Amino acid sequence: MWNLLVVEDETIVRIGLRYMIDWESRGVRWKAEASSGEEALRIVETEEIHIVITDIRIPGMDGLELAKRIKSAYPGVQIVFISSYDNFAYAKEALRLGAVDYLHKPTMDDEEVAGTLDKVVALLEETRGDKRRTAEGDRSGYLLSLLDKYTFPADPFLAEFETEAFASGYWLTVFRMRDDAVPSRTDPDSLRFLSVQYLIDEYVSRDWGGPVFHRNHREMIWIAPAKARRGAVDPAERSKYLEHLRHKVLELLNAAVIYSASSSYSRLNELPDAYMEALLQFPVNQQSDNFIVRKAKEYVDEHLLEDVTLTKVAAEIHVSPGYLSRVFLKEIGENFSDYVIRNKLELAQKLLRGTTKKVYEIAAEIGYTNPHYFSKLFKDRMGLAPLDYRNQ
């Protein structure tokens, strides 16, 4: 069933549209209504919406601007415009924004609305098929992209969430081997890691189901339906199950694992929150926050003269950008980007005082290709322009 949002400030028009056709017989659920663009945008950001039917003339943000913002953030959402104005310029702009149709309120009838709806559903079904093929083609990479807000797809799809098992929601568990090494793919340790993953996958598939995959041979992630195959299970039973699984891995493979689980979630777009919750509750050990931050700082120190970004460092130490950002702030007390900037500017201070290099040369040396940006950044942080700092 596809979820519909109708954006129309006239109550009588919303009521008329709602009872004009049998929406559910066409696979569409009348999910929400809004009377302004701002309200509609909030609904799209918090609810899972697939179709938006919007009047062009609505209070505040108009329908065209609303569509532009929705398409920018959620390109998979299908837009249909309605308007009292039979205006070619409106229709042209609507088509440019990728709208499926433009309906004229005074003349539209049930057949026209039903025909437009069928067209929208056909497009959504086609898109779902494309996403299904994409997800199956690179399953592991796609699953990983769902765990982080930095990589989360604009219009996510996961086949398991279409099944009855996940109808009540899901919870997520992260497993790690108890050591601080990050084995390479060719390392014998990575074969041991994959043996552990295989055992966990085999074990949970009998009792719960849900995908088991890994991130860079560093951690295993299991997304489990809220209900086990034998029925509902409370958090205490989940903990008992995970502890039993940990003992089973130790018994059969002589491998020690640690784990952390999230609480229950209901929507696919909450997966980054579930993953973050599990990571932030991880037992403190060499692989946890202190270790991650130490490795990140080492990388920054070694590559300070380069363009150092959160995403690049996270990839190097095999964690997600979102997780690195959170633990860095928690452990160091400042944002990752602020840490990098502070260290670069401290180096710039030494170069300004200890060399005769020009400002643009120093900017380039520490990774800033735009000397004007570097000078502004230096003044904002240090209170003086680079040359004033050198000459004081």
Q: What DSSP string runs through 353-380?
A: HH----HHHHHHHTT-S-HHHHHHHHHH
- pTM summary value: 0.46
Q: Quote the tokens at residue 271.
A: 């997966």
**Cβ contact 241:233 at 8 Å:** yes
| Segment 238-275, tens digit of pLDDT | 999 999 998 888 888 888 888 999 999 988 889 999 99
Note the pLDDT of residue 283.
Answer: 61
Is residue 221 over pLDDT 90?
yes
Q: What is the pLDDT of residues 59-85, one digit of tens each?
A: 878 888 888 888 877 777 888 988 877
Average pLDDT, the chain: 82
272 token code pair: 């980054």
From residue 390, how far is each of 362, 378, 385 by CA, in Å? 12, 12, 9
Quote the CA–CA distance of 206 and 226 in Å, as a whole number.
Answer: 15
Note the pLDDT tens digit of each residue in 40-63: 988 887 788 889 999 888 887 888
Whole-angstrom Cα distance, residue 189 to residue 94? 56
248 Cβ partners below 8 Å, 6+ apart?
199, 203
Instruction: Tell me the domains of the chain and their CATH numbers.
Output: 2-132 (3.40.50.2300), 144-280 (3.30.70.270), 289-391 (1.10.10.60)
Question: Encoding tokens for residue 124?
Answer: 């959504």
Q: Please give the structure tokens belonging to residue 40.
A: 């509609």
Query: Cα–Cα distance between 352 and 336 in angstroms, integer?
Result: 24
Question: How far apart are the C-alpha atoms of 115 and 26, rounded to whole Å?
Answer: 10
Q: Kindly indicate the confidence band of residue 181, based on its pLDDT and cuts at 50, 70 and 90.
A: very low
CB atoms within 10 A of CB 120: 24
pLDDT over threshold 90, residue 173: yes
Q: Are strands 2-7 and 28-34 parallel, antiparallel or unpaired?
A: parallel
Residue 175, phi then psi, degrees to nearest 5:
-110, 145
Indicate whether 134 pLDDT > 60. no
* pLDDT tier, 183 (very low <50, low <70, confident <90, very high otherwise): very low
Q: At 129, is the pLDDT very low, low, confident or very high (cuts 50, 70, 90)? A: low
In the prediction, which pLDDT does 189 show? 56
Q: Is pLDDT above 70 for 325?
A: yes
Q: pLDDT for 272-324, tens place per residue?
A: 999 988 887 776 544 455 667 878 888 888 888 888 888 888 888 777 788 78
Per-residue pLDDT reduced to its tens digit, 335-361: 888 888 888 888 899 899 889 899 889
Per-residue model confidence (pLDDT) at position 284: 54
Q: Mark out the alpha helices in the chain (DSSP H runs).
A: 11-18, 37-46, 63-73, 88-96, 110-137, 139-145, 188-207, 235-253, 271-280, 289-302, 310-316, 321-332, 336-354, 359-365, 371-382, 386-391
pLDDT higher than 90, residue 172: yes
| CA neighbor of 265 nearest in space, from 211, 219, 209, 225 | 225
**Whole-angstrom Cα distance, residue 7 to residue 40?**
7
Distance CA 93, CA 82 (A): 13
pLDDT of residue 187: 47
How many residues belong to the chain? 392
Rounded to whole angstroms, the Cα distance separating 212 from 206 reads 13
d(CA 339, CA 377): 14
Backbone angles phi, psi at 51, to 5 degrees: -130, 135
Q: Annotate 185-219 with DSSP letters as a single string.
A: TTSHHHHHHHHHHHHHHHHHHHHT---EEEETTTE
Residue type, 231: G
Over residues 179-199, the mean pLDDT reads: 64
pLDDT at 174: 93
Residue 182 above 50 pLDDT?
A: no
Q: What is the pLDDT of residues 361-390, one digit of tens each?
A: 998 888 888 888 888 888 888 888 889 888
